[in-house]
Amino acid sequence: MLMSTQRAGFVLTAALFTALSAPAFAQSYPTQPIEINITYGAGGGVDLNFRAFAPFLEKELGQPVVIVNRGGAGGVTGWTFIARTKPDGYSLGNANLPALSATYATGALPFNPVEKLDFLGQIAFDPVVVAVSGKSPFKTMGDAIELMKKTPGGLSYAATGIVSSDALTAKSVEVAAGVKFRIVNFDSGKEAITAALGGHVDAVGLTVSEAVPYVKDGSLRVLGVGGDKRDPQLPDVPTFKEQGLDVQFQGSARGLTIPTGAPPEVLEKLRAAVKKIATSPGYPEKANELGLGVIYATPEEVKKSVLSQIEWLKVNLKR
């Protein structure tokens, strides 16, 4: 009888210890370094953006944050790796829109991102632009659209692949204006810009951060810019919306993601950290040095954008 009583007491004590300790363990996250897996190579705009963000996340969470580049197949290699990692909060990834949506819509990504990934929030937004050589006769988007309506396929446009932001900018304008560019694909953004500078193509799709240096020296002219309002770095350039174009893709958005299945308290802590960093002094100023605007979007808003983009792409990429 005594042994039974002792055993019962031991079991009760163990149960109480477990119950009391569980929240403490959960609250202790993180207890080891965290990886942010980047789906593109080192040195590019995405990589530099997250390297600027990492020190702020490190300070907020109290653990080292390490950037690991897992480029390949237009982001597919990295996103597939991220989706398959343990959802414990120690392996995060970047969520680039519309690239993530487009790789799935075209069948390149072997899983639905809204089913396999949880979004932590948006940390940057780089509006897209349509630019031409500084010597071009085109002054506005209206000039370019007028030519394309008169001469279908008469305006050449440098892009870097079907799911690139530059190609999706062109597709957005085509659908909004009922016109067609003559797409000329290049292996890299640098080659595309060089072609536009040399007058070998009529126009090129870029983001604001890419375009600004060339606009400043007069070698490129921007005809239109994405976003709900004019970009402070290009205050004289009207938005697509101002020019009567309701384009689907307004810019390149960047955020953080984690494999689905993470403990709720871990997910909550990461989302709170991302929001705090993106909406407090420090990181936004650092991002501005890279030519990036910081527009925070909630995880729910990011997910809604992905779903909307996938739906639009599945219909319009076939056109």
How far does the chain reach from its first CA to its final CA, in angstroms? 81
pLDDT of residue 27: 60
pLDDT tens per residue, range 16-47: 444 444 444 446 999 999 999 999 889 888 99
Q: What is the mean pLDDT of residues 172-186?
A: 96
Q: Which of 30, 40, 32 is nearest to 74 (CA)?
A: 40
Cα(50)–Cα(78) distance, integer angstroms: 15
Buried b / exposed e across 164-202, counting CB within 10 Å, b at 16+?
bbbbbbbbbbbbbbebbbebbebeebeebbebbbeeebb
Query: What span, in angstroms and rounded, lies between the C-alpha atoms of 72 and 41?
Result: 8
Please determine, for residue 137, whether its predicted confidence score (pLDDT) is greater than 60.
Answer: yes
The domain made up of 32-125+251-316 has a fold known as: D-Maltodextrin-Binding Protein; domain 2 (3.40.190)
The pLDDT of residue 316 is above 70: yes
- From CA 262, how far away is CA 240, in angstroms rounded? 39
Give the model's pLDDT for residue 188. 85
The tokens for 293 are: 């605007």
Question: Residue 312 pLDDT more than 70?
Answer: yes
Domain ranges of the chain: 32-125+251-316, 127-243
* CATH domain 127-243 topology: D-Maltodextrin-Binding Protein; domain 2 (3.40.190)
CA 87/CA 51 separation, integer angstroms? 22
Q: Span 209-222, mean pLDDT?
A: 96
Residue 167, CA distances (Å) to 227, 242, 254, 294, 297 in order? 17, 21, 18, 23, 24
Residue with tokens 């343990």: 86
Closest CA to 248 of 319, 300, 154: 319
The pLDDT score that the predictor gives to residue 1 is 45
Query: 32-125+251-316 and 127-243: same fold?
Result: yes
For the segment 77-88, what is each residue's pLDDT rounded down to a tens digit? Answer: 999 999 999 999
- Least confident window among 15-24, 54-63, 65-74, 260-269: 15-24
Instruction: Find out whether the peptide bond into 98 is cis, omega within 30 degrees of 0.
Output: yes
